[in-house]
Amino acid sequence: MTKEIISTSSAPQAIGTYSQAVKVDNTVYLSGQIPLVPATMHLVEGDINAQIRQVFENLQAVCGAAGGELNDIVKLNVYLTNLGHFPLVNQIMAEYFIEPYPARAAIGVAALPKDAAVEMDGVLVLKNEYY
């Protein structure tokens, strides 16, 4: 088993005791991303639409740093402070992913770090690395 810490300046830096992602063999465990703009470490300006898009951009950057892409995600977890925004997550997710879509869970939560409205984490499996 080989373990590697994944880090990129193209995504928000960790704001706690965690890594942006951890790669174990050909599996990458993505830490939760909230809609922070990497350059400022402040929440993206705008509505929930902007927040969801920023989270996907952040996840995409970490996936890229690990040698993969969003479509390599096999499990995606979505945390929303308002589950009424779930249809918008579906709409925007269809712009970032192609079928077959990953397995997914959507969880309503009372609050998220920095008063974000959305957070996502996931697991990706890198293609053809050990096959």
Q: How far apart are CA 113 and CA 93, in angstroms?
A: 22
Question: Is the distance from CB of 95 to CB of 45 less than 8 angstroms?
Answer: no
Pairing of strands 73-80, 103-108: parallel
Residue by residue, DSSP assigns the chain as --EEEE--TTSPPPSSSS-SEEEETTEEEEEEE-SB-TTT-SBPSSSHHHHHHHHHHHHHHHHHHTT--GGGEEEEEEEES-GGGHHHHHHHHHHH--SSPPEEEEEE-S--GGG-SEEEEEEEE-TTS--
State the pLDDT at residue 1: 87
108 CB neighbour count, 10 Å cutoff: 13
Q: How far apart are CA 5 and CA 88, in angstroms?
A: 32
State the pLDDT at residue 131: 40
State the pLDDT at residue 80: 98
Taking 70 as the pLDDT cut, the residues of the chain under it are 129-131
Query: Domains (ranges, CATH) in the chain?
Result: 3-125 (3.30.1330.40)
Give the global pTM. 0.95
State the pLDDT at residue 78: 98
State the pLDDT at residue 82: 98
Question: Is the distance from CB of 54 to CB of 62 less than 8 angstroms?
Answer: no
